[in-house]
Amino acid sequence: PFPPDKAMVCFGNMFIELPKPQTKEMLQKDQEYLDEEIHNLRKELRVKVNRLFEAQGKAELKGFNLNPMTAEEMKLINRILEG
């Protein structure tokens, strides 16, 4: 039987048993880091695409500076659409 206060976490090709609170905190920190990296990459992509269009002599893309909806905003939209 697996202890209820422990979680099995896979690191590479190895499973490690860790306390659930520590595992949850670790996953939350990783997700925050990944969200920040995604945000930075999107921001850099906009600048690079604008430079590319400028170098090609094309007009700037319209609507390219839009930001994606947050998960909370998407939930609200889905609630409205469901009725």
pLDDT in tens, 10-43: 989 999 999 999 999 999 999 999 999 998 998 8
User: In the predicted model, what is the mean pLDDT of residues 49-71?
Assistant: 84
Q: State the pLDDT at residue 1.
A: 63
CA distance 7 to 24: 9
The overall average pLDDT reported for the chain is: 89
**Is the confidence at residue 82, as pLDDT, over 80?**
yes
Where b means 16+ CB within 10 Å and e means fewer, 34-59 reads eeeeeeeeeeeeeeeeeeeeeeeeee
